[in-house]
């Protein structure tokens, strides 16, 4: 038989009630409709119970509003995100950041049952019209579509208004908008060649490893000397380090150690000679100039790439370096090409992720086994691999016919 709990006056306490002697307050603990633990307090037990009854009425009213479809999209999203207990904290934080930044203060205030397919398409088009990339709008779609799908499963709305909306938007916008294009061989060589300049030399190991392994930037940041087997020429990827906005909305960011994005992300990558040389160069530099990473994260330390203060690199910082190197190269290349009477090799603006896409493209250009490429890249879905391979194959097909035209053999 359960023990009867009483307060200091001998009154029986109900489930969820207790008395905090240090604060001289009665407390009622409960779980809200979104799965969060909350508490209400009062100096008087009777007053606390009046609050409890009002709370229960409010909760039922809120649920009724949702069930009747009268809640707004924000309510539906908050309910959806509360159910995603299996998400990594970094992924959940990214979802919240994306939603809060692009949806909550505008589209999120729409009444759930009033949202139509055309509303979603118009919203996505409006975001693109503001200068957002297709990939960013796709991230918004990633949080909106399952939000509506949960409401469908709860029988709150009949159909998911986001179904097919992103595909429709992609058809209408210029294919160059937000599409990730790998660097050509000439562009890649031009960028890597720029790393031999004295002002860029310290970045050579990092970018050589990025272009030579196809690792995600989070995997590069998390790479440790312990993960590198120089003797057998293998790099092991079994964790990553994400850098994301904190959930307290303080506009600060923090690092988090986590498993790779998917199970397929746990893999080994054979080291190219240039990658091995780059890592050996970094090891020599750290020994010669007396610097190393001072960070310990999740019980791990000995990270390879660090800034001048011994801290971890972050994607935004690396992107700034890429932008500077590209800008410097292009400015000098235009002058050199004009002087030498040739066409300049202009490197397009690109981000960290393009180094991965470029590596995958080079791999597809030289390897026909999609499963091998998928394994090296850590793609969860082979369709991702095949999509890049198909793009490469289409270009190679055109190149082959151009050669046939030049040789006039058919």
Q: Decide if 48 contacts 42 (C-beta within 8 A).
A: yes
* Residue 330 clears pLDDT 50, i.e. is over it: yes
**Domains plus CATH for the chain?**
29-67 (no CATH), 73-172 (1.10.150.130), 185-404 (1.10.443.10)
Q: Is 32 helix (H, G, I), strand (E, B) or coil?
A: coil
Alpha carbon distance 352, 215 (integer Å)? 10
Percent of all residues in the chain with a pLDDT value above 90, rounded to a whole number: 49
Q: Is 203 helix (H, G, I), strand (E, B) or coil?
A: helix
| Phi (first) and psi of residue 99, to 5 degrees | -65, -50
**Stronger pLDDT, 301 or 89, i.e. the higher one:** 301
DSSP code for 50: H
Q: Decide if 16 contacts 49 (C-beta within 8 A).
A: no
User: Confidence class of residue 142 from pLDDT cuts 50, 70 and 90?
Assistant: very high
User: Confidence class of residue 269 from pLDDT cuts 50, 70 and 90?
Assistant: very high
| Phi (first) and psi of residue 18, to 5 degrees | -155, 170
In the predicted model, what is the mean pLDDT of residues 76-90? 85
Vertex 364 angle, CA 234 and 410, to 5°: 145
**Stronger pLDDT, 263 or 84, i.e. the higher one:** 84
Q: What rounded mean pLDDT belongs to the chain?
A: 86
In the predicted model, what is the mean pLDDT of residues 62-84? 80
**Stronger pLDDT, 227 or 245, i.e. the higher one:** 227
Please tell me the least confidently modeled range out of 8-12, 18-22, 405-409.
Answer: 405-409
In the predicted model, what is the mean pLDDT of residues 218-239? 95
* Residue 61 clears pLDDT 60, i.e. is over it: no
Q: Decide if 355 contacts 378 (C-beta within 8 A).
A: no
User: Confidence class of residue 64 from pLDDT cuts 50, 70 and 90?
Assistant: low
Which among 87, 82, 178, 99 is positioned nearest to 145, based on CA atoms? 99
- As to burial, measured by CB atoms within 10 angstroms (0-12 exposed, 13-18 middle, 19+ buried), residue 373 is buried
Which among 267, 224, 222, 261 is positioned nearest to 373, based on CA atoms? 267
Question: Residue 284 CA to chain centroid, in angstroms?
Answer: 33
In the predicted model, what is the mean pLDDT of residues 39-67? 77
* Residue 247 clears pLDDT 60, i.e. is over it: no
Which among 218, 309, 203 is positioned nearest to 261, based on CA atoms? 218
Tell me the pTM.
0.66
* Residue 176 clears pLDDT 60, i.e. is over it: no
Alpha helices in 68-197 (DSSP H): 73-83, 89-102, 117-129, 134-153, 165-172, 185-194
Which among 151, 140, 149, 63 is positioned nearest to 113, based on CA atoms? 151
pLDDT at 296: 93
User: Confidence class of residue 322 from pLDDT cuts 50, 70 and 90?
Assistant: very high
| Token duo for residue 112 | 């759930």
Q: Decide if 137 contacts 122 (C-beta within 8 A).
A: no
User: Confidence class of residue 67 from pLDDT cuts 50, 70 and 90?
Assistant: low
């Amino acid at each position: 038989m359960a023990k009867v709990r009483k307060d200091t006056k001998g009154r029986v306490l109900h489930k969820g009630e207790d008395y905090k002697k240090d604060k001289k307050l009665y407390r009622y603990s409960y779980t809200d409709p979104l799965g969060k633990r909350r508490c209400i307090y009062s100096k008087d037990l009777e007053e606390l119970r009046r609050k409890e009854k009002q709370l229960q009425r409010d909760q039922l009213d809120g649920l009724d509003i949702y069930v009747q479809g009268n809640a707004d999209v924000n309510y539906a999203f908050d309910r959806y995100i509360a159910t995603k207990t299996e998400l990594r904290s970094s992924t959940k934080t990214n979802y919240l950041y994306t939603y809060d930044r692009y949806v909550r203060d505008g589209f999120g205030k729409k009444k759930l049952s009033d949202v139509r397919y055309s509303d979603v398409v118009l919203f996505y088009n409006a975001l693109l019209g503001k200068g957002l990339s297709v990939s960013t709008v796709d991230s918004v779609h990633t949080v909106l579509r399952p939000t509506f799908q949960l409401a469908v499963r709860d029988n709150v709305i009949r159909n998911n208004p986001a179904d097919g909306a992103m595909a429709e938007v992609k058809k209408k916008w210029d294919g160059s908008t937000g599409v990730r294009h790998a660097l050509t061989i000439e562009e890649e060589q031009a960028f890597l060649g720029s790393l031999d300049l004295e002002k860029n030399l310290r970045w050579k190991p990092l970018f050589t490893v990025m272009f030579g392994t196809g690792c995600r930037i989070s995997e590069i940041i998390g790479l440790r000397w312990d993960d590198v087997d120089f003797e057998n020429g293998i790099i092991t990827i079994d964790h990553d380090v994400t850098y994301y906005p904190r959930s307290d909305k303080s506009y600060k960011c923090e690092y988090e150690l986590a498993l790779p994005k998917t199970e397929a992300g746990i893999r080994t990558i054979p080291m190219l000679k240039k990658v091995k040389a780059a890592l050996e160069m970094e090891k020599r530099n750290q020994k010669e100039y007396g610097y190393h990473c001072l960070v310990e994260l999740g019980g791990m330390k000995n990270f390879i790439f660090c800034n001048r203060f011994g801290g971890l690199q972050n994607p935004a910082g690396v992107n700034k370096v890429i932008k500077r190197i590209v800008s410097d190269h292009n400015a000098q290349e235009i002058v050199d090409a004009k002087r030498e009477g040739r066409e300049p090799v202009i490197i397009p603006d690109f981000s960290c992720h393009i180094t991965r896409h470029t590596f995958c493209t080079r791999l597809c250009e030289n390897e026909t086994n999609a499963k091998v490429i998928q394994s090296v890249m850590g793609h969860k879905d082979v369709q991702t691999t095949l999509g890049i391979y198909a793009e490469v194959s289409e270009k190679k097909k055109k190149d082959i016919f151009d050669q046939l035209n030049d040789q006039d053999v058919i």
